[in-house]
Amino acid sequence: MENNYKEQLLALQKEHDELLAKNKHLSEQNKELKQFSHLASHDLQQPLNNIISYLSLLDSSKDKLDDIGKLSLKVISKSTAKMKSYISSLLDLSLIGNSKKSEKVVLKEVLTDVKDALYQQITTSNADLSFNLIDHQIEGIKNDFYLLFLNIIENAVKFHKEGSTPKIIVTSEIKDNNYLYTIADNGIGIAKDQFDTIFEIFKTLHPDEEFEGVGIGLAQAKKITKLYNGKIWLDSTPNKGTTFYISFPKG
């Protein structure tokens, strides 16, 4: 009896020590995350902002440059803008789920905000974006869900066939005790062997000359759905279109 008691005490002490070690590890990770956020939002952005400012001054006098100078200026400007996009996207990724402002989020309102944010892209491409949604509120951080749908819908608008009009339909329903969202488009599609690859960070399937991007949007989407115990998957046929599915538990 006494031996069992000692064994239980030792087991409890071991569990306690393991929890302390895990808490210390999490505390260190949170500290590193805060340091990275500061680095990405200030220290890395400032030199880029300086470069962009001086590039603007050079651009105003580019007529004095020869052809090689003009090409160099164009390449530097484009590379600087892409680097700024990388840093901003990484910062967004690091901040997912880290706000303390949790609330009841109305996903219909989130999708309306996404449509408003994409107004220029939708107008330029003459895209047809329509919603058929049921009422759904979810506890969480509004900006997380905004990023989730923004990334997928923005891709649907961008990756369309040349000469065609993008058509995107967003619907939701209750299925198998989950809220299921579908985002269907008539775009260029994705090969089946790339279905997993597209969720990897900084993974792009097309060169910048065809479609610009940093390849982080779907990595953000996957992180967000996982954070809220959801799932994300897709079905696609090259040159016919893609449908993304996102589900969240109904409970």
Q: Which residues lie below 8 Å from residue 174, measured CB to CB, with a gap of 6+?
A: 134, 180, 250
| Structure token pair of residue 187 | 């775009």
For CA atoms 7, 11, 12, 14, give the dihedral sign: positive
Of residues 82, 93, 88, 91, the one with CA closest to residue 35: 91
- Among 46, 69, 95, the domain boundary falls at 95
Number of domains the chain is built from? 2
User: pLDDT of 137-183, one tens digit each?
Assistant: 999 888 889 889 999 999 899 888 788 889 999 999 999 999 999 99
Q: Residue 126 maps to which CATH number? A: 3.30.565.10
CB 230 within 8 A of CB 136: no
Query: In one letter, which amino acid is 227?
Result: L
C-alpha 2/C-alpha 54 separation (Å) is 77
Q: Are 173 and 69 within one domain? A: no
Domain that holds residue 223: 103-249
Q: Are 79 and 107 within one domain? A: no
Q: Are 119 and 91 within one domain? A: no
Q: Is 233 left (phi over 0), alpha (psi -120 to 50) or beta?
A: beta
Per-residue pLDDT of the chain (251 residues; tens, 9 = 90+): 556 656 666 666 666 666 665 555 555 555 555 555 555 555 666 677 777 777 777 777 777 778 877 777 777 777 777 677 667 666 666 666 665 577 899 999 999 999 999 999 899 999 999 999 999 999 988 888 988 999 999 989 988 878 888 999 999 999 999 999 999 999 888 888 877 888 877 565 544 544 454 557 888 899 899 989 999 999 999 889 999 999 999 86
* pLDDT confidence of residue 111: 95
